Amino acid sequence: MLNKALLEDVLSAALTTGGDFSEVFVEDRFTNRMSLQSTKLEKSLSGRDFGVGIRLFKGLNSIYAYTNDFSKEGLLQAANAAAQAIQGKADKAIILPLMKQNLNAIHPIHLMPNSVDKTRKLQVLRQADQIVRDYHSSISQAIISLLEEEQHVLIANSEGTYVEDTRVRSRLTINAISSNDHDMQTGFYGPGRHQGFEFIEDLNLEHYAKEAARIAVTMLNADPAPSGKFPVVIDNEFGGVIFHEACGHGLEAAAVAKENSVFANKVGEQVASELVTYIDDGTIKNEWGSINIDDEGEEARKNVLIENGILKGYLIDKFNARRMNTESTGSGRRESYKFAPTSRMTNTYIAPGKSTPEEIIANTEYGIYAKYMGGGSVNPATGDYNFAVNEAYLVKDGKIDKPIRGATLIGNGAKTIQKVDMVGNNLGHGAGMCGASSGSIPVNVGQPMLRVSEITVGGKEAN
Amino acid sequence: MDLLTFRDQLFVEGEKLGFSELELYYEKQSGFGCQIFKGEIDDYRSSTVIGVSVRGLYNGKMGYAYTEKLDEESVSFLLDNIKENSKLIEDDPQELFEGNANYEKLDFYSATLTEISIEEKIEFLKEVEKKIYEYDHRVVQTDYAAIQDQLVEKALFNNKGLALQDRNNFLFVVFSVVVKEDEEIKSDFYFKLTKDLKSLDTDEIAKEAVEKSLSHLGGKSYPNKTYPIILKGQAASSLLATFSPSFSAKSVQDNQSRLKEKLEQKIASNVVTLLDNPHLPDGIRSGTFDSEGVPTKQLTVVKDGVLKTYFHNLKTAEKDGVESTGHGHKSSYKDSVGVSPSNFYVVPGIESYEELYGDLEEGIIITSLAGLHSGANPISGDFSLAADGFYVKDGKIVSPTNQMTIAGNFFEVMQDVEKVGTDLEFSPMDYYGYIGSPSLKIKGLAVTVD
């Protein structure tokens, strides 16, 4: 992508004003997006992103410059411009010699997206579309999209790191829309993996497309959700988004280093119910949020964040590691060369417990069963979160009762994780996109079915 | 390779390969952003990026591709991909815009803005940050103290002779302040977009930023029920933004809008007029032509509650047998042409924000909404959203509330607007367009307080 001598020149140029760390991130990414709507292939878009990000640190100052002028002059100019942001003299503008590292590729790819004919891809979209439309007469629209990316990265820094990686991601998103005379509802499922077209071709379309259609049809006939405080049973897979919002973001060094998190300075303390073990693991084979190396060149790893309710550690990138006087945990991630990396999640999940899903429902006298979660957000400084439930039911006398819609859950992350009172044994992961200061990145959220003794549910039926 | 050489080579090679029509869209973004934390530069970004997207008509079908690399290899990469993509497309054929001479002669470029040095911007941040800490002892720290400027240059060419250029620049500052009293932690943020940094007063900003956060301390719970609501400008504009796709002819034609078959009908109360103004001097989305080269002009979308038109691009306009309204939009060169508002807002009324809540016997003021990307159904209009705000009794603010949710339906809210304030504010979230609203008084919404 760029040769070693040029990389060394750029890394050195960035340090001429006294910086103590410099880094180059080169990205070459191919993207395909295909979208079927109203049974027609409406969008088929291909593109190539190519650019370079140059970063330098001096103590707790961080400077980032990016460009897609990849000529030698352009790169040196960008490095110099970045260096000008700090005013000082190079005491020892020395960089360690670059030695190419062998990548430990733990996520095998068999069919590179660009090697597969698009008509084969269109076949899959059509099949999914047909399954959704055949599901029920109230299905009025289906939008099926395929997203594929091949991202080639090169990361080199003044500490001698010099490594290249290729990340391949494939995702199928299925949107089903149901309607009657006065209403429209939607259902969604979006399986994705750090894998090639083999994942898309082997997908159980029957399952995913039917689920999306079933959610849309079920919600069309649902009553408005009640308001108030209830026990909430959250199902596995994408249900894990609650802990992604409620505690994952608060465990990122970006918030912790500046003590803008309720979890700052609490390592070793009981911060959650002892049923909760919370893990971030970028090494799970071919999962959507998996990585070989992070965007600072550090190898992926498994980080235990909370163990039996005790806070064990945080997700840390190189810059925040400085403020915290510690080391990176392989958690520096970014959307593209247009963003400086920061601490982010990969595949984050609640470890399985002992209860069966049947036991959890049977032990709930009155509450809400959140089968499929939507997205949400959190204010890391306060820990206040909110998120939507895409498919929900009332639970009455230990049984799943009628479907309800429009349920939004709000609360405070630090309090909610204390209130987990049952954890199931059916761990599952779900794919999503997470947005924060270093852009939108693929992450998995995961958990087994679990129950929180009390969450505030906001619905239309104000009691 | 420079842009014009790239264009010429692309059009020549494309025509050789059998393309009947070709269009090149170019975007250059240059920006500087900086963030201060306790007097230190915590984040500093400078950038220049270009990107082009090309669409072409091959055997009567339109294909798309984009790249960020202007070289010979990219010419063939683009043409090969457009050809392959066009073969699969099953959508109706469409022609490129011939162009006409009626473009407004407007420039949204502020020279004043480019004259401010990076040092001045950093000094500005440091000064405000310092004043924030000095303003009140309950200030813990800032979550963000940031400045960002952006220059966007666009050009559009096609092989029918169209050649257009536009540019727009702006700067914004964000200060998010964390405050603490006893064990209660609250934060809110101050956001300001400007074309003139010197017009901003650092004392005023520090004061407003800190007081916004302090105003949430002492939160209380109130009974869950339906209350009359004041949606403050920021909250009202983010709600309008979330549901703005309903006004797009694309959504209507795809059966994804409840405004289908509602032209010339009453869709909002009499006090609601919605205007799209692509020539707003301070608008992020201001420009003289849209992403397809169609001239932009002011458009009244809702007049006194009556829906007058949808937003159209060339394709939706052809389907409906009308003229494009100049709302063909690409979110960037990476996207194909969709439909989107430009600077779209509720036209202000005559009462101030204070007068709006001064009339309430009992009610809730909503200052901000969260979870809009997940807690709202953009098609049905149903929403259940996290909210912050205040409880009002006998025309006076009694206290902030604990975190709330408000639930309702956007299309019902439009009918239930009783009064429109004077305090027009735009939402910093510009994904759906640059969307604004003054504070609105709403008949009632279901409120749940944590």
Contact A45 B65 (CB under 8 A): yes
Q: What share of chain A is helix, strand, coil (3-state, %, to 5)?
A: 20, 45, 35
Select from A44, A85, A184 the Cβ nearest to the Cβ of B379.
A184
Contact A408 B375 (CB under 8 A): yes
CATH topology of domain A113-149+167-221: PmbA/TldD fold (3.30.2290)
| pLDDT value at A48 more than 90 | yes
Task: Specify the DSSP element, H or E, that contains B246.
Answer: none
Contact B68 A81 (CB under 8 A): no
Distance from CA of B102 to the nearest CA of A (A): 31
Contacts of B178 in chain A (CB under 8 A): 260, 381
Test the A interface: residue of B45, B52, B431 with most A CBs within 10 Å = B45
Distance from CA of B81 to the nearest CA of A (A): 7
Distance from CA of A354 to the nearest CA of B (A): 31
pTM greater than 0.95: no
Distance CA A113, CA B125 (A): 46
Q: Could you tell me which residue, A327 or A437, shows the higher pLDDT?
A: A327
Distance CA B399, CA A98 (A): 60
- Output the pLDDT for position B394: 98
Distance CA B173, CA B36 (A): 12
Distance from CA of A103 to the nearest CA of B (A): 27
Residue B191 inside a domain? The answer is: no
Q: Which of B48, B25, B23 is nearest to B331 (CA)?
A: B25
CB B413 within 8 A of CB B271: no
Contacts of B50 in chain A (CB under 8 A): 68
Select from B45, B66, B254 the Cβ nearest to the Cβ of A141.
B254
Residue whose entry in the numeric block shows the structure tokens 């405050």: B179
Per-residue confidence band for A103, with pLDDT thresholds at 50, 70 and 90: confident
Query: Which residue in A has a C-alpha nearest to residue B33's C-alpha?
Result: A64
Contact A61 B41 (CB under 8 A): yes
CB A19 within 8 A of CB A86: yes
> pLDDT for B53-105, tens place per residue?
999 999 888 899 999 989 899 999 999 999 998 888 887 777 888 877 689 88
Per-residue confidence band for A2, with pLDDT thresholds at 50, 70 and 90: confident
Task: Supply φ then ψ for residue A81, to 5 degrees.
Answer: -60, -40
Residue B330 inside a domain? The answer is: yes
The ipTM is 0.87
Contact B43 A47 (CB under 8 A): no
Query: Which residue in B has a C-alpha nearest to residue A119's C-alpha?
Result: B88
Give chain B's residues under pLDDT 50. Answer: none
The secondary structure of A218-273 as a DSSP string is HHHTPEEPB-EEEEEEE-SGGGGHHHIIIIIGGGBHHHHTTT-STTTT-TTSB-S-
Mean pLDDT on A336-341: 96
Is A413 exposed, middle or buried (CB count within 10 Å of its CB: 0-12, 13-18, 19+)?
buried
Residue B302 inside a domain? The answer is: yes
Contacts of A419 in chain B (CB under 8 A): none
Select from A186, A227, A381 the Cβ nearest to the Cβ of B446.
A227
Distance from CA of B386 to the nearest CA of A (A): 6
> pLDDT for B158-171, tens place per residue?
999 899 999 999 99
CB A356 within 8 A of CB A423: no
Mean pLDDT on A231-240: 95
Select from B336, B382, B406 the Cβ nearest to the Cβ of A45.
B336
Contacts of A49 in chain B (CB under 8 A): 68, 334
Contacts of B40 in chain A (CB under 8 A): 59-61
Is B412 exposed, middle or buried (CB count within 10 Å of its CB: 0-12, 13-18, 19+)?
middle
Could you tell me which residues are beta bridge partners of residue B61? B58
| Maximum Cα interatomic distance, chain A, rounded to a whole number of Å | 74
Residue B347 inside a domain? The answer is: yes
| pLDDT value at A463 more than 60 | no
Per-residue confidence band for A296, with pLDDT thresholds at 50, 70 and 90: very high
Per-residue confidence band for A462, with pLDDT thresholds at 50, 70 and 90: low
Q: What angle do CA B302, B304, B306 make, to 5 degrees?
A: 50
| pLDDT value at A94 more than 90 | no
- Output the pLDDT for position A91: 65
Select from A46, A67, A258 the Cβ nearest to the Cβ of B81.
A46
Number of domains in chain B: 1
Query: Which residue in A has a C-alpha nearest to residue B448's C-alpha?
Result: A458
Q: What percent of chain A has pLDDT over 90?
A: 82
- Output the pLDDT for position A25: 97
Domain ranges, residue B351: 225-449
Contact A388 B374 (CB under 8 A): yes
Average pLDDT, chain A: 94
DSSP-derived letter for residue B359 is: T
Distance from CA of A445 to the nearest CA of B (A): 16
Contacts of A411 in chain B (CB under 8 A): 403, 450
Distance from CA of A207 to the nearest CA of B (A): 23
Residue whose entry in the numeric block shows the structure tokens 């308001």: A227
CB B37 within 8 A of CB B142: yes
Distance from CA of A7 to the nearest CA of B (A): 19
Contacts of A338 in chain B (CB under 8 A): 47, 49
DSSP-derived letter for residue B199 is: G
The pairing of beta strand A302-307 with beta strand A310-311: antiparallel
Query: Which residue in B has a C-alpha nearest to residue A50's C-alpha?
Result: B68
Contacts of B255 in chain A (CB under 8 A): 38, 140-141, 177, 179
Contact A31 B404 (CB under 8 A): no
DSSP-derived letter for residue B111 is: H
Contacts of B118 in chain A (CB under 8 A): 85
Distance CA B388, CA B449 (A): 10
Distance CA A157, CA A96 (A): 8
Distance CA B390, CA B363 (A): 9
Please count the helices (runs of H) and the strands (runs of E) in chain A: 10, 23
Contact A462 B450 (CB under 8 A): no
Task: Supply φ then ψ for residue A403, to 5 degrees.
Answer: -70, 145
Distance CA A179, CA A185 (A): 6
Q: Where are the domains of chain A?
A: 113-149+167-221, 228-458
Contacts of B448 in chain A (CB under 8 A): 227-228, 410, 456-459, 462
Distance CA A462, CA B226 (A): 7
Q: At what angle do helices B202-214 and B118-135 cross, to 10 degrees?
A: 40
Contact A456 B382 (CB under 8 A): no
The secondary structure of A369-429 as a DSSP string is EEEEEEEEEEETTTTEEEEEEEEEEEEETTEEEEEEE--EEEEEHHHHGGGEEEEBS--EE
Tokens of A249: 């973001």
Contact B371 A31 (CB under 8 A): no
Contacts of B336 in chain A (CB under 8 A): 43, 45
CB A198 within 8 A of CB A124: no
| pLDDT value at A92 more than 80 | no
CA atoms within 13 A on the CB side of A175: 18
> pLDDT for A378-391, tens place per residue?
887 888 899 899 99
Residue whose entry in the numeric block shows the structure tokens 């807690």: B375
- Output the pLDDT for position A222: 93
Test the A interface: residue of B224, B388, B449 with most A CBs within 10 Å = B224
Could you tell me which residues are beta bridge partners of residue B193? B172
Contact A462 B69 (CB under 8 A): no
Q: Which of B189, B169, B158, B174 is nearest to B96 (CA)?
A: B158
